[in-house]
Amino acid sequence: MAHKYDNASQQRILRALLMLAGNEFNGVAPGELAKAMGESPSTATRDLHNLKEVGFAEQIQETGRWRLGPKVVQLSFAFSTELTRARQRLDEITYRYTRQP
């Protein structure tokens, strides 16, 4: 059931982003993306352009195919870094409360 905040174009772009994942070496052709999503090639091209504008997708110059952009990977590294910091802080707190006086 659709929620009042659902937005079809935003959902479509997010689905396109998910479809690019796992194709970082060979990429995905806009036509393949359009077919897989049940959209027109022009819609897929527009979505890819918008993903490119924020660094979430990039076009492979040699083939014209598309893959995830560096920004997506940078987000995952940022999460990993923050997770490491949180673990270190938790370890410090655990040590502080569990050490023998």
Q: Is 58 helix (H, G, I), strand (E, B) or coil?
A: strand
How much is the pLDDT for 4?
85
Work out the pLDDT band at 61, boundaries 50, 70, 90: very high
Instruction: Look at residue 2 and tell me whether its pLDDT is greater than 80.
Output: no
Q: Which CATH architecture has domain 1-68?
A: Orthogonal Bundle (1.10)
How much is the pLDDT for 96?
94
Please give the average per-residue pLDDT across 17-43, as a whole number: 94
Which position has the token pair 């997010």? 14
Mean pLDDT (the chain, rounded): 94
DSSP for 12-31?
HHHHHHHHHTT-TTT-B-HH
* Distance, CA of 52 to CA of 82 (rounded, Å): 26
User: pTM for this structure?
Assistant: 0.78
